[in-house]
Structures are given as C-alpha cells and as structure tokens.
A and B are shown apart, each in its own frame.
Chain A
Amino acid sequence: MGGLDLFSATTPASPEGGWSVLDVTRRARQLVESGFDRIWVRGEITNFKSYRSGHWYFTLRDADAQVRCVMWRSDNERLKTSPEDGTEVFLEARPTLWEEKGEFRLTVRRLIPTAAGGLWQIQLERAKAALARDGLLDPERKRPLPSYPSRIAVVTSLDGAALRDIVSVIGRRWPAVDVWVVPTRVQGETAENEICVALDRANRLENVDVIIVGRGGGSAEDLWAFNSERVARAVAALEVPTISAVGHETDVSLTDLVADARAPTPSAAAETVVPDRAAVAGALDAIARRLGRSLTNQLEVGKERLQRMTDRLTTAALRHVERRERRLERLAAKLEALSPVSVLARGFAVARDESGRVLRRVADFPPDTEFRLSVSDGDVRARTLGGET
C-alpha cells in the first residue's frame, strides 16, 4: 500500500488546500494499518459492553497504557461466554483507526482468557491424555469410601477455609474421629511439589481410613496445582480411598478425575466422608428393635417346640393310663368271679359266730348257740336247735 507516498505527495501546503477531518483520519488509518501486522497482545479487559448488534466494545489495559478494542459478532460468536471486566486475556488483533471518531483501536479476531486458555489448556489436555493412557482414569479403579472412618487424613493448607470447613462439618456430623492434617501450600510455584510430598506423607500414615485432598475456591490460577499431572499421579498412588475437593461447585480438576470420589467443595467432601450421627443413631435403634424381635421369635420357636413335646407326652401318658385302666377292669371281672359274695349270690350262705369266725363243722354248732348267717343281701341272726341231723 502506498500510504506514505500518498501522504507525502498530497500534504496540503496552504490553508486553501486544507484537508477535511476525514481526509486526516483516513490517511492516519492507512498509516497505522500499514505499520502493523496482525499481533498478539496481553492485557486486562475493562468497560466491556456487548451491543444489540452483537458486536463487543471494550478497553484493554495493563499497568502502563490502555487501548480501545472492538470484536465483531462474526468473530466473538465462536466464544462460549463473553469476558467480564477484570479478565486477563490474550488478544489476536489488528491495530486500526476509526475514521469517524479519530480513535485508535484494535480490531480483535481471537480472545483467549490467560487462565483457562493458552498453554495451560494444552498442558492440561496432554496430562489428561497421559493419565488416561496409563489407565488412571478408569472407573473400575474407583474404590468405595469406608462407611465409618476412624481416622481421616486431610491434605490441604493449614490456614485455608477448606480445613476450617472440613473440621466444622465433621465435628457436627461425626466427631468420633481423628482428623490428621498433612499441611501443604496449595497455590504458588512450590505448591505442586509440596502437595506431592504431603500426599506421600499421608500415604505413609498408619490406620488412615480415608484421605481428603483439596482446597477452597480461588482463581483458575490458584487452583492450578491440582491440575498438575504429577499431583494427579500422586493422588492415584494413594493406598486408601481418596476424595478430591478442589474449589467451588463448577471447578473440575485433574485430581478430581483420578481420586476415588470427587466433592464439589471441601465441606461437601466432609459430608461425604462421615455419616450423620443422628441418622446412625436411628440405624442403631432399628438394629436394637430387630435384635429384640429376633430373640422373641427364637423364644417363641422354643416355646412352640416345648408345647409340642408336652402335647405328645400328655397323649402318651393318657394312652398308658387308659391301657392300665382297661387291664384293671379285666382283673376286677376276674376277681369278681372268685369273690365269696358271688358264691352267696348263687344261694350259698356263710355261718359266723359272734367274733366273726366262720363255722365250718357240726362241732362248731353246739345246741342253742347264736350265730350269724350271711346270705347274698345281708346277715340273719340264727340259733341251733339241737345236735347233728
């Protein structure tokens, strides 16, 4: 483009040949556009405004300067969300000048937030792929969390809100535990290394039932250590079930993907990790009721068995008694046949003297002796008339 040539060739030398304002701004635009290629620039967004037309207008600034920007709808509609004021971004833009306003500005083609985007995003995707290749993201790897932990290791910062939240939730729901904090920095340059060391310590502790690793919410940059492949591998190497709780509801980190369970916040992790005391007290009551009922049933079964035995015993005894009774009857009949009473019934009589002695011979009957004569229905008084007949 011959902007410079044009400019120098037609510079008005006198008031009469003076340019219109538009002549100036148009030529300035040509100068600006010919002086820059497409560039990448980094800064913070302010005064963001999205017009009804769909075009975006905002200012990009850093500590030292600022510049107006426009991003046409055809370019910004590829983005999922619009940036907020304060967002730090990389812009691919072309410097230009708005002729009508004489305003220098950037026409933005691409916009990438520095936190979620750029190299970090690429690095995260690579790490995820590497973990997946090694099978560390397989759902079968996930272990169930213990129902009633006695000792919980927490890998987090000593002065973060995360630890306070976890301790407060556990204290309310299930205080019968030891909480062992393995302190580590959770953000900044040393965080990645420190978290790995702390995870290794947690792994070496004795009788730990479950591990919570995480931190409270923060900027994407603050949470970044939990997207490190090294930290994710250290989480995957833990020998006891682990729950990852990083940031707020919407943040999903690499450690969330390799841990046995993921909680949206540290408080939620604490809720997941211990049961609720009141609910468990209810469950114990239910067990107590079952215990009582089951014993009653066992006793009932015993009682029934006893009753059956008693019944059989009674039946057997009765049968025995009946048999005896019948036998007794038969014997009685036999006895009856032999009884002197039955002899009397047949017409015989027995004579006895006053003392009851049976008088058997003639000699027992001296004349004029009183004696009793027993016949079938009673006794008769009698007297001998004389001697032998």
Chain B
Amino acid sequence: MTKQRPSFRKEVERLEAIVRTLEEKDVELDEALELFEEGVRRLKDARALLEESELTVKRVLEAADGTLRTKTLDD
C-alpha cells in the first residue's frame, strides 16, 4: 500500500539500550566508542523524524474483491 515510515519507537528503544549499556557496563573502549557513534547517528535520525512535519491523511477504500487500498483525502 504505502511505504512504512521509519519507526521512531525503535530508534528510541535502541538509543535507551545504548545509553544503558554505556552507563551500567564496563565495556571495552573501542566497543564504547562504537556504541557512542551509533548513538549519535540514531539521535540524528530521531531528531530528523521529529522535524518531519508532513502529516499524511488518507481514506481507506474497499474494492469489490475485498482488498483494501488508500486514497489521498481531498480537503
């Protein structure tokens, strides 16, 4: 139907996990740096998702054969 938006929830969950690992565990320095870099990358993505202001509104239609499709809503 329509392409799936990147999941903000997944970004935030992974970020939380990264921060917890760095906070609680004694990780090797190169692993810590890798996690940090991933964290920074995901923060950037999450912020970009927040900035995205395009709300899409569609209506759902059912075809005669029972399949569902979406159509842009005319205001």
| Contact surface of A with B, Cβ cutoff 8 Å | 146-148, 150-151, 153, 158, 167, 170-171, 175-183, 201-202, 204-207, 277, 280-281, 283-284, 287-288, 290-291, 294-295, 297-299, 301-302
Chain A residue, CB-CB nearest to B23:
A294
Chain A nearest CB from B56 CB (Å) reads: 5
Point out which of A178, A201, A299 has the most chain B C-beta atoms below 10 A from its C-beta.
Answer: A178
Task: Assess A175 versus B9: contact at CB under 8 Å? Given A201-B60, A298-B22, A298-B27.
Answer: no
Distance in angstroms between the alpha carbons of A206 and B60 in the assembled complex: 12
Task: Assess A148 versus B8: contact at CB under 8 Å? Given A179-B55, A290-B23, A295-B22.
Answer: yes
Name 14 extra pairs, CB < 8 A, besides A150-B4, A205-B60, A294-B23: A151-B5, A167-B55, A175-B52, A175-B55, A176-B54, A176-B55, A177-B55, A180-B58, A181-B60, A182-B59, A183-B60, A291-B40, A295-B22, A295-B36
- Asked if B19 and A158 make an inter-chain contact with CB atoms under 8 angstroms apart, the answer reads no
Chain A nearest CB from B33 CB (Å) reads: 8
Chain A residue, CB-CB nearest to B57:
A179
Distance in angstroms between the alpha carbons of A294 and B35 in the assembled complex: 11
Distance in angstroms between the alpha carbons of A288 and B22 in the assembled complex: 12
Residues of A within 8 A of B26 (CB): 301
B62 within 8 A of A: yes
- Asked if B60 and A175 make an inter-chain contact with CB atoms under 8 angstroms apart, the answer reads no
Task: Assess A181 versus B23: contact at CB under 8 Å? Given A207-B4, A299-B29, A302-B29.
Answer: no
Point out which of B2, B26, B59, B60 has the most chain A C-beta atoms below 10 A from its C-beta.
Answer: B60
Residues of A within 8 A of B64 (CB): none
Residue in contact with A287 in the complex, picked from B2, B43, B49, CB distance below 8 Å: B43
- Asked if A280 and B43 make an inter-chain contact with CB atoms under 8 angstroms apart, the answer reads no
Contact with A along B16-47 (1 / 0, CB 8 A): 10110011001101001100100110010011
Residues of B within 8 A of A283 (CB): 12
Chain B residue, CB-CB nearest to A294:
B22
Residue in contact with A206 in the complex, picked from B1, B32, B58, B59, CB distance below 8 Å: B1
Chain A nearest CB from B23 CB (Å) reads: 5
- Asked if B56 and A178 make an inter-chain contact with CB atoms under 8 angstroms apart, the answer reads yes
- Asked if A284 and B59 make an inter-chain contact with CB atoms under 8 angstroms apart, the answer reads no
Closest 3 interchain pairs by CB? A294-B22, A175-B55, A148-B9
- Asked if A287 and B68 make an inter-chain contact with CB atoms under 8 angstroms apart, the answer reads no
Residues of A within 8 A of B56 (CB): 177-179
Distance in angstroms between the alpha carbons of A301 and B22 in the assembled complex: 12
List 25 A–B pairs whose Cβ atoms lie within 8 Å, in order of A's numbering.
A147-B9, A158-B73, A175-B52, A176-B49, A176-B50, A177-B56, A179-B56, A179-B57, A183-B60, A201-B68, A281-B50, A284-B46, A284-B50, A287-B19, A287-B43, A291-B15, A291-B18, A291-B19, A291-B39, A294-B19, A294-B22, A294-B23, A295-B32, A298-B27, A298-B32
Residues of A within 8 A of B36 (CB): 291, 295
Distance in angstroms between the alpha carbons of A344 and B30 in the assembled complex: 68
Chain B nearest CB from A309 CB (Å) reads: 13
Chain A nearest CB from B32 CB (Å) reads: 4
Chain B residue, CB-CB nearest to A288:
B43
Chain B nearest CB from A383 CB (Å) reads: 81
Residue in contact with A183 in the complex, picked from B12, B52, B53, B59, CB distance below 8 Å: B59
Residues of A within 8 A of B39 (CB): 291
- Asked if B29 and A181 make an inter-chain contact with CB atoms under 8 angstroms apart, the answer reads no
Chain A nearest CB from B11 CB (Å) reads: 9
Chain B nearest CB from A31 CB (Å) reads: 65
Distance in angstroms between the alpha carbons of A281 and B50 in the assembled complex: 7
Chain B residue, CB-CB nearest to A149:
B9
- Asked if A170 and B8 make an inter-chain contact with CB atoms under 8 angstroms apart, the answer reads no
- Asked if A181 and B46 make an inter-chain contact with CB atoms under 8 angstroms apart, the answer reads no
- Asked if A281 and B43 make an inter-chain contact with CB atoms under 8 angstroms apart, the answer reads no
- Asked if A287 and B16 make an inter-chain contact with CB atoms under 8 angstroms apart, the answer reads yes
Distance in angstroms between the alpha carbons of A153 and B1 in the assembled complex: 14
Residues of B within 8 A of A284 (CB): 12, 43, 46-47, 50
Chain B nearest CB from A204 CB (Å) reads: 6
Residues of A within 8 A of B47 (CB): 281, 284
